[in-house]
Copies of this chain bind each other. A is one copy, B any other.
Amino acid sequence: MTFSPRTLSLKDNEPLTRSLVEQMALRLSDRILEGHYHPGQRIFEQTIADEFQVSRGPVRECLRLLEKDGLITLVARHGAQVTKLSIEEVKEIFDIRAPLNGLRDRMLAEDPQRELWLPELKKIVAELSLLACSTQSADRYVACVAKLNHQLGVWVSNQRLKNILASLARQTRRYSQLGLSTPARRQQSIQHWQKMVEAIEKGDGDTAQSIACQRVYDSRDAAIHILQNQPASASNDSPTEIKQDLEAREA
């Protein structure tokens, strides 16, 4: 049991530059984002430890990381549960994303070396335009927007900005999808992106910033509108989450 647990208890092909705890955090956050756990569901240390064939120590550190990332909520002497955001909290996060996306896109528009990555950007936006026309490809459109945002993060020089934006995007992933569920919204979205490319090409930071800001506010409003009309997915207020406890246990 004790021979080289770091390489054995997880996928061997993953790089060892990341610690065991960080690898677990990555895989756990994937599970949460893919909907394997649902909001409000409790997460038990021993369960996770068994699944990863690790003791509870590293699991606890891992949960601290996920808490700081906003994906789970830790209550002292009660444990962890997948973060369940109220409509107000979703709005809060989008409100923060707006000016930060504005900053990012301004920096990109004012990047002296933007010629290096502009072709790649145009390619993705073109791909996006095709998907936007199709009426039934909401998932693929969302995936492409995610890819686009990821690439923009790669090209931006401010590493901390990149990390904060990635964290906020993760926290609102499921709600961003909501905002792009109608073809009309996707049309609006693609127009924003096209104008963004223009602004970046011209080096117009002001325009790029305001477009980015507006784009986030539009997703915010669309998401909130849907959430308010379908309160089932965000208003389950049973205080103790008993059913979900049982689900977690029988798994």
Interface residues of A (CB under 8 A from B): 17-19, 21-22, 57, 60-61, 64-65, 68-69, 76-77, 89, 92-93, 95-96, 98-100, 102-103, 107, 158-161, 164
Q: Which residues of B lie under 8 Å from residue A107 when comparing CB positions?
A: 95
Main secondary structure of the interface of A (DSSP, over half): helix
Q: Which residues of B lie under 8 Å from residue A77 when comparing CB positions?
A: 19
A95 to B160, CA, bound (A): 10
**Could you tell me the distance in whole angstroms from the C-beta of A21 to the nearest C-beta in chain B?**
8
**Given the known A-B contacts A19-B76, A76-B18, A164-B164, are A95 and B61 also in contact in the complex, defined by CB atoms under 8 Å?**
no
- Who on chain B is nearest to A158 by CB? B92
Task: Name, among A22, A107, A160, A164, the residue most crowded by chain B CB atoms within 10 Å (CB to CB).
Answer: A160
Q: Which residues of B lie under 8 Å from residue A159 when comparing CB positions?
A: 92
Q: Which residues of B lie under 8 Å from residue A96 when comparing CB positions?
A: 100, 103, 158, 160-161, 164
- Who on chain B is nearest to A20 by CB? B76
Q: Which residues of B lie under 8 Å from residue A19 when comparing CB positions?
A: 76-77
Listed by A's residue number, 6 A-B pairs whose Cβ atoms lie within 8 Å are A18-B76, A61-B64, A89-B160, A92-B159, A96-B100, A96-B160
